[in-house]
A = this chain, B = another copy of it.
Amino acid sequence: MSQPLRVALAGLGTVGAGTVALLAAHGALLERRCGRRLLVTDVSARSRGRDRGVDLTGFTWHDDPVAMARRAEVDVIVELIGGADGVAKAVCEAGLAAGRHVVTANKALLAKHGTALARSAEAAGLTLAFEASVAGGIPIVKALREGLAANELSRVYGILNGTCNYILTTMRESGREFADVLAEAQRLGFAEADPAFDIDGIDAAHKLAVLASVAFGVEVDLDGVHIEGIGRVSAHDIRFADELGYRIKLLGIARRTAHGIEQRVHPCMVKLGTPIAHVDGVFNAVVAEGDFVGSTVFQGRGAGAKPTASAVVSDLIDIARGRRTPTFSVAAVDLAPMRRSPMARHVGAYYLRLMVIDRPGVFGAVAVALGEAGVSIESVLQRGRDPNEVVPVVMITHDTEEQAMLAALERIAALDAVVEPPTVIRIETL
């Protein structure tokens, strides 16, 4: 039997405590699967006294996680502190500098510094692993990097934020408005007191940037992600989507286009019957499209102490067994710079909802505005009439370039009879 794999844990929040609990519960099982023990020896967290529901006796306690990463006699540092910079980054850098493998669940850190950290790790012959950073317990990083590695991927997309999916699912099921459902989600603990990070799409963008790098072998490029949150999705839109045979989901999408790689996070209309349309509540799902494998769907819990711990420990098992993979699917020195496909060149169909005064000639003016911008309409939904009142008009366009759509919207917004800024939701063909 080989030596144990010695592990230091930096951060003992829910995921850190979950990881300790998993390793305690499955010691014998993991030893059988790894051929050696996984042994936490050192820990560091802010509050030493707090009851975390797990036994921490026997671990060497460090007040300073960076010092721990530098000095603890371990093989792996597990970074579960969080944050794109500051202590988390210092811990990972110190760990790598000291010759320790690093496992992290920190998507913000990876989205900002992933390429640099990968290059440091690989230059030193070390592993930087991050299965837990995207889609919780779903082994999607491994799937993209190893399981589907024989494919050229054309598109990777998914429901990457459970809070947004919970809110959109509840809006649909209850017919209630966004603000109302968000407030409830906060009361129930499904949304943070400061929800911006989730509902504005930032969290999903971090995860998407990591996925895109793995999927396409390019440098991580968070700044290249087009980001829109779910705050402007109204109960109207949810209802119209239903009527038209769609669901509205916040998707993170990375795809190859003729212009480069498009990375975007925004509400999408997806056809009922597609697997992603039926992933509800706090679940996550990722779909990978490869030229040989076709479309492959991975679904599971996207967050929580236990699923995330499952992913953290799967990385430890790989390290314990000596299984090495390039951090982002090809050697970090070979990662191509991201060639951004501009959003203005995005091509797709659009859902358009206008609030207009119901009077003769309005629809004609809208149609002219669309036509002049080169946008053609596939279908129109207008229910009932209400002369001289404000009524919604919903249109689905044929495939069009985003810049044409923007030009059309400018013309439409300028019309007298259009009383609110138009709502536009991109339709994603799956």
Contact = CB atoms under 8 A, between A and B. Distances in A.
A195 interface: no
Contacts of A307: 292-294
Interface in A279-318: 285, 290-301, 306-307, 309-314, 316-318
A22 interface: yes
A284 to B, nearest CB: 10
A290 B301 CA distance: 11
A123 interface: no
A348 interface: no
B292 A137 contact: yes
Given A149-B33, A314-B150, A321-B325, A297 B294 contact: no
A151 B310 contact: yes
A384 to B, nearest CB: 32
A298 B298 contact: yes
A48 interface: no
A168 B323 CA distance: 41
Contact of A300 (B131, B293, B323): B293
A233 interface: no
Nearest to A318: B146
Copies of this protein chain in the complex:
2
Interface residues of A, number: 60
B278 A331 contact: no
Interface stretch (A24-32, A374-382, A386-394, A407-415): A24-32
Contacts of A321: 324-325
Contact of A143 (B30, B33, B139): B139
Contact of A314 (B22, B146, B329): B146
Interface in A126-148: 131, 137-139, 142-143, 146-148
Nearest to A299: B297
B297 A149 contact: no
B323 A324 contact: yes
A346 B290 CA distance: 40
Given A295-B300, A300-B294, A142 B137 contact: no
A247 to B, nearest CB: 13
A338 B32 CA distance: 17
A288 B40 CA distance: 27
A297 B300 contact: yes
Contacts of A146: 139, 142, 314, 317-318, 323
A35 interface: yes
A326 interface: yes
Contacts of A329: 33
Given A292-B310, A294-B301, A297-B299, 11 more contacts: A32-B217, A32-B334, A33-B149, A33-B329, A139-B296, A150-B310, A150-B311, A150-B314, A293-B300, A295-B301, A297-B298
6 contacts: A139-B147, A146-B317, A292-B310, A294-B300, A294-B307, A296-B301
Interface of A: 18, 22, 25-26, 29-30, 32-33, 35, 131, 137-139, 142-143, 146-152, 217, 273, 275, 278, 285, 290-301, 306-307, 309-314, 316-318, 321-326, 329-331, 334
